[in-house]
């Protein structure tokens, strides 16, 4: 603790020295001035803990010093004790009115002096303690106000952001197992309520909805409220489907609003957190898109975010009207992207990717039309076509160039749900004489969430035919590592969003290392997709990643160009680390 500093303002040199001596012996730190002006200067510069001031001093008298001191923000409460001769006693009142704390009449005894000083210092301590306490209270209250919505008494967006940020990025992989979902809830037809009801009524509607939602708050939820009709649940390690169902059902009971019962419904949008999606804003945006969709569908329902919701309505209607005929009009083609052995640099196989060349629109990306095809059910037909076409093509290459060439084809869950899928696939394999053990089917894990049991059965059936199953876009789904153990995949394709800046991006490097490690333990082959630089290639080789695919080697190619690659020997030079 710092020493207590006392300022002595006294023109009589003997009295001053005497005071300084005795107070120094008591352990006080001292500073002194022979006149009012210098005294005031010292007070301002040194912020003493207490001031002893002779009433009659040159340049500025004691009253004037006191007056100036009290006007100074830092000194307004500093204990101020006047020293006076007996003759000046009549001035007592005047000094007290100006805010002096005590008077000592000369000559005073040492114990009078020390007693007066101590009393004032204690008084000041108590005052400061009280002040600190009130400040603390005010700060707590301010903090609460800053982090809560005052209408519904729930944490606000700022609080949610803080809570989210406190889940440390460093435990990324840990957290992945602790699956997280954002669920955005809004009362349906809220604008109509707003038009027809008073401000007060709207406030109490929101309050009673908040009240009800609070009942569903538990250790695995975080409930927040953003401005006007946006309730947010963060759900961790909890059955999202069961939870949203419960919430929707809770709206079956009427709400009591100013003694009248009213019925409300709500829409919910859900976005699942995953390895690529750190960002709370991203999650909220996705949940918002899903929620709007749920509302457009009539409300009173929940909707998971899927990329298909993003394809805007103009594109969607174009795709919807034209995709039907694309096959018949032979606008679809298969492109092949080489997959390279990280050990030898040799092409070991390829991924077949669909391309749509529309005579007016040009190339339409599969990212645009596949989600719509999935929704329309067209994917079953398209999926069969690409399997048929690619198996026939690759069989030719196997015979001409390389008998062990593998073929990877993307599969949508819609196809798996089709009970005849295995039979049709078998027919294609027989008709094209394609060896089943060289076929890999790629499933995106984000699509596995929906029908775990059925998918499991189909995967088992496919595996019994000798077909390999790859998990695509690994790391971008809801429960990547869980699925890895549950489904016994043969191949893990590390999502291309992680395969970048592996030498400088510590998070990506850690994720890739962990995936490669985990896959190794489970006897899965690893494919890195989207490999586009030499440095990333070297890193992946060092991590023991088995197969590489990406623009660094080659983009997807039409069949003629792919054949030319094979014809030239199908070998890529592999970069090696300089060391
Ligand atoms: P995907 O299965 O993850 O396919 C890989 C995508 O990454 C392809 O995009 C490919 O062109 C692209 N790519 C390859 N190397 C690189 C690279 O180095 N950098 C970058 N930035 N990208 C690279 P594409 O062909 O546009 O396909 C997009 C998605 O459409 C595919 O993602 C897949 O989910 C879907 N898709 C394509 N064809 C089919 C299909 O026949 N059936 C199904 N169900 N889905 C398909
Ligand atoms: Ca794929
Ligand atoms: Ca992929």
Distance (angstroms) between ligand 2 centre and the Cα of 408 equals 8
The protein residues having their C-beta less than 5 angstroms from ligand 2 (an ion) are: 410, 442, 472
* In the predicted structure, residue 178 carries a pLDDT above the cut 80: no
Q: What is the CA radius of gyration of the chain?
A: 39
Rounded distance between C-alpha atoms, residue 499 and residue 279, angstroms: 19
pLDDT at 275: 67
472 in ligand 1 pocket by Cβ < 6 Å? Answer: yes
pLDDT at 102: 87
Q: What is the pTM of this model?
A: 0.64
Q: Are strands 332-341 and 180-187 parallel, antiparallel or unpaired?
A: unpaired
Question: Average per-residue pLDDT in the chain?
Answer: 88
Give per-residue pLDDT as tens, 456-484: 888 999 999 999 999 998 877 665 677 77
Give per-residue pLDDT as tens, 416-425: 888 899 999 9
pLDDT at 442: 96
Distance (angstroms) between ligand 2 centre and the Cα of 183 equals 29
Give per-residue pLDDT as tens, 50-79: 999 998 888 988 888 898 888 887 788 899
| Closest by CA position to 224, among listed 304, 160, 277, 287 | 160
Q: Which residue has the tokens 């009393």?
A: 119
pLDDT at 138: 78
Largest CA distance in the chain: 125
556 in ligand 1 pocket by Cβ < 6 Å? Answer: yes
* In the predicted structure, residue 133 carries a pLDDT above the cut 70: yes
| Closest by CA position to 472, among listed 416, 531, 526 | 526
Q: Between these two residues, 258 and 203, which has the higher pLDDT value?
A: 203
Q: Give the ligand whose atoms come closest to the C-alpha of residue 412.
A: 1
Distance (angstroms) between ligand 1 centre and the Cα of 341 equals 19
The residue whose CA has the least distance to atom 29 of ligand 1 is 367
Token output for 271 = 């976005």
What is the CA 78 to chain-centroid distance, rounded?
Answer: 49
* In the predicted structure, residue 322 carries a pLDDT above the cut 70: yes
Number of H helices, E strands in the chain: 21, 24
pLDDT at 256: 87
SS (H, E, C) 216-228: CCCCCEEEEEECC
Q: Which residue has the tokens 């303002």?
A: 9
332 touches 385 (CB < 8 A): yes
The residue whose CA has the least distance to atom 23 of ligand 1 is 530
Rounded distance between C-alpha atoms, residue 365 and residue 355, angstroms: 7
pLDDT at 174: 54
* In the predicted structure, residue 313 carries a pLDDT above the cut 80: no
Q: Give the ligand whose atoms come closest to the C-alpha of residue 353.
A: 1
- Tell me the sheet residues that pair with 556: none
Distance (angstroms) between ligand 3 centre and the Cα of 109 equals 91
Q: Where are the beta strands (DSSP E) in 191-284?
A: 221-226, 230-236, 255-257, 260-262, 266-272
Distance (angstroms) between ligand 1 centre and the Cα of 381 equals 19
Q: Are strands 491-494 and 439-444 parallel, antiparallel or unpaired?
A: unpaired
pLDDT at 106: 80
The residue whose CA has the least distance to atom 11 of ligand 1 is 556
Average pLDDT over residues 558-566: 97
Q: How confident is the model at residue 170 (pLDDT cuts 50, 70, 90)?
A: very low
* In the predicted structure, residue 448 carries a pLDDT above the cut 80: no
Share of the chain above pLDDT 70, in %: 93
532 in ligand 1 pocket by Cβ < 6 Å? Answer: yes
Burial environment of residue 473 by CB neighbours within 10 A (0 to 12, 13 to 18, 19 or more) = buried
pLDDT at 341: 97
Mutate to test the pocket of ligand 1, among 337, 339, 353 (most ligand atoms within 8 A of CB): 353
530 in ligand 1 pocket by Cβ < 6 Å? Answer: yes
Burial environment of residue 312 by CB neighbours within 10 A (0 to 12, 13 to 18, 19 or more) = exposed
| Helix, coil or strand: residue 352 | strand
pLDDT at 277: 63
Rounded distance between C-alpha atoms, residue 259 and residue 568, angstroms: 82
Rounded distance between C-alpha atoms, residue 346 and residue 218, angstroms: 54
* In the predicted structure, residue 173 carries a pLDDT above the cut 60: no
SS (H, E, C) 252-263: CCCEEECCEEEC
Q: How confident is the model at residue 175 (pLDDT cuts 50, 70, 90)?
A: very low
Q: Are strands 266-272 and 301-304 parallel, antiparallel or unpaired?
A: parallel
Rounded distance between C-alpha atoms, residue 298 and residue 296, angstroms: 5
Q: Are strands 102-105 and 80-84 parallel, antiparallel or unpaired?
A: parallel
Q: How confident is the model at residue 87 (pLDDT cuts 50, 70, 90)?
A: low
Element containing residue 461 per DSSP (H, E): helix 452-464
Q: Give the ligand whose atoms come closest to the C-alpha of residue 370.
A: 1
Distance (angstroms) between ligand 3 centre and the Cα of 238 equals 27
* In the predicted structure, residue 548 carries a pLDDT above the cut 90: yes
Find the helix packing angle between 452-464 and 421-432, rounded to 10°.
20
Mutate to test the pocket of ligand 1, among 410, 416, 444, 553 (most ligand atoms within 8 A of CB): 410
- Tell me the sheet residues that pair with 458: none
Element containing residue 183 per DSSP (H, E): strand 180-187
Give per-residue pLDDT as tens, 334-347: 999 999 999 999 99
Q: Give the ligand whose atoms come closest to the C-alpha of residue 408.
A: 2
What ligand 1 atom has the least distance to the C-alpha of 444?
34
Q: How confident is the model at residue 1 (pLDDT cuts 50, 70, 90)?
A: low
* In the predicted structure, residue 449 carries a pLDDT above the cut 70: no
């Amino acid at each position: 603790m710092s020493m207590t500093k006392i300022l002595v303002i006294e023109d009589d040199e003997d009295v001053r020295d005497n005071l300084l001596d005795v107070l120094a012996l008591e352990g006080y730190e001292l500073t002194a001035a022979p006149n009012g002006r210098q005294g005031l200067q010292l007070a301002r510069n040194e912020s003493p803990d207490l001031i002893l001031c002779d009433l009659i001093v040159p340049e500025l008298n004691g009253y004037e010093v006191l007056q100036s001191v009290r006007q100074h923000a830092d000194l307004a409460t500093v204990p101020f004790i006047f020293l006076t001769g007996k003759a000046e006693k009549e001035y007592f009142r005047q000094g007290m009115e100006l805010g002096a704390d005590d008077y000592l009449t000369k000559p005073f005894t040492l114990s009078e002096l020390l007693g007066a000083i101590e009393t004032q210092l204690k008084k000041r301590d108590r005052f400061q303690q009280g002040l600190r306490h009130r400040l603390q209270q005010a700060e707590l209250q301010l903090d609460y106000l800053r982090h809560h919505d005052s209408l519904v008494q729930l944490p606000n967006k700022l609080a949610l952001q803080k809570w989210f940020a406190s889940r440390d990025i460093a435990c990324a992989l840990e957290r992945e197992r602790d699956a997280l979902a954002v669920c955005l809830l809004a009362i349906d037809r809220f604008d109509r309520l707003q038009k027809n009801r008073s401000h007060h009524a709207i406030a109490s509607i929101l309050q009673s909805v908040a009240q009800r939602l609070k009942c569903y708050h538990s250790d695995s939820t975080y409930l927040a409220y953003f401005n006007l009709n946006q309730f947010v649940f963060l759900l961790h390690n909890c059955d999202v489907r069961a939870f949203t169902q419960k919430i929707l059902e809770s709206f079956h009971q009427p709400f009591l609003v100013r003694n009248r019962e009213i019925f409300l419904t709500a829409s919910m949008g859900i976005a699942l957190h995953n390895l690529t999606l750190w960002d709370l804003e991203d999650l909220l945006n996705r949940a918002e898109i899903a929620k709007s969709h749920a509302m457009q569908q009539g409300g009173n329902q929940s909707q998971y975010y899927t990329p298909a919701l993003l394809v805007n309505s103009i594109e969607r209607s174009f795709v919807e009207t034209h995709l039907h005929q694309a096959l018949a009009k032979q606008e679809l083609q298969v492109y092949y992207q080489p997959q390279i052995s990280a050990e030898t640099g040799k092409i070991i196989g390829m991924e077949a990717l669909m391309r749509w060349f529309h005579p007016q629109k040009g190339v339409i990306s599969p990212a645009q039309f596949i989600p719509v095809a999935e929704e329309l059910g067209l994917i079953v037909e398209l999926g069969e076509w690409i399997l048929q076409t690619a198996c026939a093509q690759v069989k030719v290459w196997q015979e001409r160039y390389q008998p062990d060439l593998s073929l990877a084809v993307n599969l949508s869950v819609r196809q798996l749900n089709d009970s005849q899928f295995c039979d049709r696939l078998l027919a294609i394999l027989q008709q094209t004489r394609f060896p089943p053990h060289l076929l890999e089917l790629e499933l995106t894990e984000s699509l596995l969430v929906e029908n775990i049991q059925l998918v499991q059965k189909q995967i088992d059936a496919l595996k019994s035919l000798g077909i390999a199953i790859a998990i695509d876009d690994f790391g971008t789904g809801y429960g990547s590592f869980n699925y890895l153990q549950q489904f016994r995949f043969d191949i893990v394709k590390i999502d291309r969003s992680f395969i970048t800046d592996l030498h400088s991006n510590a998070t990506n490097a850690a994720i890739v290392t962990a995936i490669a490690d985990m896959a190794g333990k489970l006897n899965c082959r690893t494919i890195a997709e989207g490999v586009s630089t030499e440095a990333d290639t070297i890193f992946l080789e060092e991590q023991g990643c088995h197969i590489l695919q990406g623009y660094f080697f080659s983009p997807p190619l039409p069949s003629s160009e792919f054949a030319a690659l094979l014809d030239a020997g199908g070998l890529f030079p592999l970069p090696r680390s300089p060391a």
